[in-house]
Amino acid sequence: MSLDANLAILHHLLAFGLVGLLMAEWAVLRGVASPESVRFLSKIDLAYGLVAGLLLIVGYLRLRYGVKGSAFYSGNPVFWLKIAFFFATGLVSIIPTIAFIRWSRALKAAGALPASAQWVRMRRLVTLELHLLALVMIFAAIMARGIGL
């Protein structure tokens, strides 16, 4: 198989993995705070961050070494919308990540669990992230068909 095909496959697997991990966070946040759920959120979020980083790297490799070439992407405004929404998702995700780290530290230090209002706020932010990622996927499908050139 070609490098382009392998990069495309890996890119898609990472994208779906990112959505799956975010869905896992959302599912945990649909429940109530417990020591197990706080610990699990930290693990999921770490994996989410790693997958997001790998997705960026593989995306860059596709841009640089893929069959379509960088001109196909850089000249397409839909590509830049996709990138903007991906980074917007990343910016939103900073807030839950910080909260999950704080919750884990509080749990280890004093056995404290997050307040219900904090839990609900993080669930809403993760829901927002899911909506933003859906737009990223929509822009990716549009862009791949050359729309916007």
Domain membership flag for residue 12:
yes
In a domain? residue 110: yes
pTM for the whole thing? 0.93
- 83 occurs within a structural domain: yes
Domain interval for residue 133: 3-144
Q: Is the pLDDT of residue 149 over 80?
A: no
**Cα–Cα–Cα angle for 50, 55, 61, rounded to 5 degrees:** 130
Both tokens assigned to 88: 């917007």
CA distance 129 to 123: 10
Does residue 149 form part of some domain?
A: no
- The tens digit of pLDDT for each residue in 121-144 reads 999 999 999 999 999 999 999 998
pLDDT at 10: 98
The reply to whether 37 falls in a domain is: yes
Residue 145's Cβ-count burial label (10 Å; 0-12, 13-18, 19+) is exposed
Burial of 106 (0-12, 13-18, 19+ CB in 10 A): middle
71 lies in some domain = yes
pLDDT tens readout for residues 74-108:
899 999 999 999 999 999 999 999 999 999 999 99
Q: Does residue 45 form part of some domain?
A: yes
Q: Is the pLDDT of residue 29 over 90?
A: yes
Q: Quick one: average pLDDT of 56-85?
A: 94
* Residue 69, pLDDT above cutoff 90: no
Question: What does the pLDDT read at residue 66?
Answer: 92
pLDDT category of residue 19 using cuts at 50, 70 and 90: very high
Mean pLDDT of the chain: 96
Q: How many domains does the chain have?
A: 1
What pLDDT is stored for residue 17 in this prediction?
A: 98
Is residue 59 a part of any domain in this protein?
A: yes
Give the pLDDT score at 129: 99
